[in-house]
Chains A and B, each alone.
Chain A
Amino acid sequence: MKVGFIGLGAMGRPMALHLQAAGQELHVWARRPASADGLPATVHPTPAALGAACEVVFTVITSSADVEGVALGDNGLIHGMAPGSVLVDCSTIAPDVARRIAGQLAEKGIHMLDAPVSGGEQGAIAATLAIMAGGDAAVLERVRPLLEKLGQRIVHIGPNGAGQVAKACNQMIMVAAIEAVAEAMHLANAAGVDPAKVKQALAGGSAGSRVLDIMGQRMVDRDFSAGIEARLHHKDYGLVLAAARQSGVPVALTASVAQQLNALMALGFGKDDTSSLLRVLEAGRRGV
């Protein structure tokens, strides 16, 4: 099958290569042509041209505005993709933007799934991503064989936008857990107790979690090199809080964690791993 791919960053590139390795004919468009260097793929001059050549197009892009531009803008996918073809957007964007894009594509008979992923760069490389899909169930079944090359847990959440809601929930839980681990490590340290020992003990009990394992270890090692760039979690928290506001749902903990992420950005840790939330707590203890 001819499969298009847009967004060849840390996540997108290994995902595109998995599809190609599985025997798909890979087509790409890249805003910076250099990002397509060395890929076994046909390079197209515009998203529209890519869309015209492919049955299924994947996008993995950072912001709502960028996804909207690539899908609906001048030379966007909507001007090339044929009726019956499918856009699978694996980016993390606002649920209402996902619905709007899906609605406009549907007017031209183009299908869309919002299919954000969780698992990070490691999950993308290992093809073990969790994929949460919103859109028509039959469309998901059509592209499921492709998604199975990218991840292990593929769940149909509901109609368009539902995948992005699930991703927002994922980010709420994960980043709040990182903050909880950071505060525990910080407390241990401030009380003169070895954080490594605390982490080791906790891992066996009710507080055990993947975040404690992975992010806790980074905090113990003081290895704050990304990982997941914290600025992306900061961006996602903006989306989560906007969605909570639209629904009139109070999210006290999320709002509080968002302030720690704001501080993280101000302290210049945006391109480091989110385990840097520990360093925000340490900055708060230094005084002036």
Chain B
Amino acid sequence: MKIGFIGLGIMGRPMALNLLKGGHQLSVWARRAESMQPLLDAGASGAASPADVARGQELVISMVADAPDVAEVMRGVASAGTSGLVAVDMSTIAPAAAKAIHAELAAAGVDFVDAPVSGGEVGAIAGTLSIMAGGSDAAFARAQAAFECMGKNIVHVGGPGAGQVTKAANQIVTGMGVLAVAEAMAFASKNGVDRAKVREALLGGFAYSKILENHGQRMLDRNFKPGFKSWMHEKDLNIVMQTAHELGLCLPGSAATAQMFNAMVGSGLGEEDSIAVLKLLENLSGQA
């Protein structure tokens, strides 16, 4: 398939490389020209703008930072006037923003899919991302072959915005999950109990989770290298809390968790993995 790809950062670059490996014909554009080089070396062609990247394509994919960036590049994509184009954004943005972009692109004749991912840089490189998509059946069908090059667990959740709603729900579970494991670790230590043994015991029971297993191990190792940077998790939890505010939705656990991540960013832990919330708990409980 002829695919345009916009945004070649930590996530976008390996995702685009996997599309090339899957035999797709790729045209790429990135804000910083030097980010394009690895893709050009691997056989992609370079484009001059988001509009240029969309010309003559069947599918355009974006992976950028935030909602205003998505809106801007998608406006460029729509301006190319490619007939029958399907545009897929795989960034994490607010569901309301995704719906607005969907409506704007629909008016320009472009069928839009919001398809955020979970799995981080490791999943992007391995091509094992979870992909949660919102949009029309026809648009999802067009994008499916591309999704299969980048991810494993690919679910068409519903209509416009449904992918972002799912991602926000994912961030609620992972945000609270990381905090829950960190609190259990702090609880064990403050009681003079070996936290490694506690984790080992819990892994066999109902408290088992991937987060207890993986993030828990990294907490024991005090390996705070990202992974998933805590400022990004904070950004995603802010999307959750904004949406809850707009809808009139009571999310007390998410609210408390979002404030812990807010504190992490404010105290200079933003560039560390979200498991660094453990350090914050230890500081607050005199365990540092």
Q: Chain A residues in contact with chain B, CB under 8 A?
A: 234, 237-238, 241, 244-245, 247-252, 255-256, 258-260, 262-266
**Least Cβ distance of A125 to chain B in Å?**
30
**Least Cβ distance of A158 to chain B in Å?**
21
Decide: A249 and B262 in contact? CB cutoff 8 A.
Answer: yes
When A241-B241, A245-B238, A248-B263 are in contact, do A259 and B248 touch as well, CB less than 8 Å?
no
Decide: B250 and A263 in contact? CB cutoff 8 A.
Answer: yes
B-chain residues with CB within 8 Å of residue A251 when the two chains form the complex: 259, 262
**Least Cβ distance of A28 to chain B in Å?**
32
B258 touches A (CB below 8 Å): yes
Decide: A252 and B250 in contact? CB cutoff 8 A.
Answer: no
**Least Cβ distance of B210 to chain A in Å?**
27
Residue of B with least CB distance to A264? B248
B192 touches A (CB below 8 Å): no
Decide: B267 and A262 in contact? CB cutoff 8 A.
Answer: no
Decide: B249 and A266 in contact? CB cutoff 8 A.
Answer: yes
Decide: B259 and A266 in contact? CB cutoff 8 A.
Answer: no
Decide: A252 and B245 in contact? CB cutoff 8 A.
Answer: no
Q: How many A-B residue pairs have CB under 8 A?
A: 60
The docked-state distance in angstroms from the alpha carbon of A250 to that of B263 is 5
**Least Cβ distance of A262 to chain B in Å?**
5
**Least Cβ distance of A55 to chain B in Å?**
39
Decide: B262 and A262 in contact? CB cutoff 8 A.
Answer: no
B-chain residues with CB within 8 Å of residue A264 when the two chains form the complex: 248
A-chain residues with CB within 8 Å of residue B242 when the two chains form the complex: 238
Decide: A250 and B250 in contact? CB cutoff 8 A.
Answer: no
- Interface residue tally for chain B (C-beta within 8 Å): 22
When A256-B256, A258-B245, A262-B244 are in contact, do A248 and B251 touch as well, CB less than 8 Å?
no
Query: Which residue, of A248, A251, A252, A256, has the highest number of chain B Cβ atoms within 10 A?
Result: A248
* Residue-wise interface mask of B (228-259) relative to A, using a CB-CB cutoff of 8 A (1 in contact, 0 not): 00000010001001101101111110011011
Residue of B with least CB distance to A244? B262
The docked-state distance in angstroms from the alpha carbon of A237 to that of B255 is 13
Decide: A259 and B255 in contact? CB cutoff 8 A.
Answer: yes
Beyond A247-B266, A262-B250, A266-B250: 12 further Cβ-contacts under 8 Å? A234-B245, A238-B242, A241-B241, A244-B262, A245-B234, A250-B263, A252-B256, A252-B259, A256-B256, A259-B250, A262-B244, A266-B249
Decide: A248 and B265 in contact? CB cutoff 8 A.
Answer: yes
The docked-state distance in angstroms from the alpha carbon of A5 to that of B260 is 43
Decide: B258 and A255 in contact? CB cutoff 8 A.
Answer: yes
Chain A binding surface, main DSSP class: helix
A-chain residues with CB within 8 Å of residue B266 when the two chains form the complex: 247-250
The docked-state distance in angstroms from the alpha carbon of A241 to that of B251 is 14
B-chain residues with CB within 8 Å of residue A241 when the two chains form the complex: 241, 245
B-chain residues with CB within 8 Å of residue A234 when the two chains form the complex: 245
B-chain residues with CB within 8 Å of residue A245 when the two chains form the complex: 234, 238, 262
The docked-state distance in angstroms from the alpha carbon of A262 to that of B249 is 5
**Least Cβ distance of B69 to chain A in Å?**
19
When A249-B266, A255-B259 are in contact, do A266 and B245 touch as well, CB less than 8 Å?
no
B-chain residues with CB within 8 Å of residue A249 when the two chains form the complex: 262-263, 266
Decide: B258 and A262 in contact? CB cutoff 8 A.
Answer: no
| 7 pairs of A and B residues whose beta carbons are closest in the complex | A248-B266, A265-B248, A250-B263, A266-B248, A263-B250, A255-B255, A250-B259
**Least Cβ distance of B176 to chain A in Å?**
14
B-chain residues with CB within 8 Å of residue A252 when the two chains form the complex: 256, 259
The docked-state distance in angstroms from the alpha carbon of A110 to that of B150 is 55
The docked-state distance in angstroms from the alpha carbon of A110 to that of B50 is 40
The docked-state distance in angstroms from the alpha carbon of A251 to that of B263 is 9
Name the contact of A262 in the complex, choosing from B245, B256, B260, B263 (C-beta under 8 A): B245
Decide: B251 and A259 in contact? CB cutoff 8 A.
Answer: yes
* Residue-wise interface mask of B (203-234) relative to A, using a CB-CB cutoff of 8 A (1 in contact, 0 not): 00000000000000000000000000000001
Decide: A256 and B262 in contact? CB cutoff 8 A.
Answer: no
Residue of B with least CB distance to A255? B255
The docked-state distance in angstroms from the alpha carbon of A238 to that of B245 is 7
Decide: A248 and B248 in contact? CB cutoff 8 A.
Answer: no
Decide: B248 and A250 in contact? CB cutoff 8 A.
Answer: no
Residue of B with least CB distance to A284? B250
The docked-state distance in angstroms from the alpha carbon of A244 to that of B241 is 13
Residue of A with least CB distance to B265? A248
Residue of B with least CB distance to A245? B262
Residue of B with least CB distance to A268? B248
The docked-state distance in angstroms from the alpha carbon of A258 to that of B250 is 8
Name the contact of B255 in the complex, choosing from A238, A247, A258, A266 (C-beta under 8 A): A258
The docked-state distance in angstroms from the alpha carbon of A264 to that of B249 is 9
Decide: B263 and A256 in contact? CB cutoff 8 A.
Answer: no
* Residue-wise interface mask of B (261-273) relative to A, using a CB-CB cutoff of 8 A (1 in contact, 0 not): 0110111000000
A-chain residues with CB within 8 Å of residue B258 when the two chains form the complex: 255
The docked-state distance in angstroms from the alpha carbon of A249 to that of B259 is 8
A-chain residues with CB within 8 Å of residue B250 when the two chains form the complex: 259-260, 262-263, 266
The docked-state distance in angstroms from the alpha carbon of A273 to that of B244 is 21
**Least Cβ distance of B105 to chain A in Å?**
24
B-chain residues with CB within 8 Å of residue A266 when the two chains form the complex: 247-250
**Least Cβ distance of A257 to chain B in Å?**
9
Decide: B241 and A256 in contact? CB cutoff 8 A.
Answer: no
The docked-state distance in angstroms from the alpha carbon of A238 to that of B238 is 11
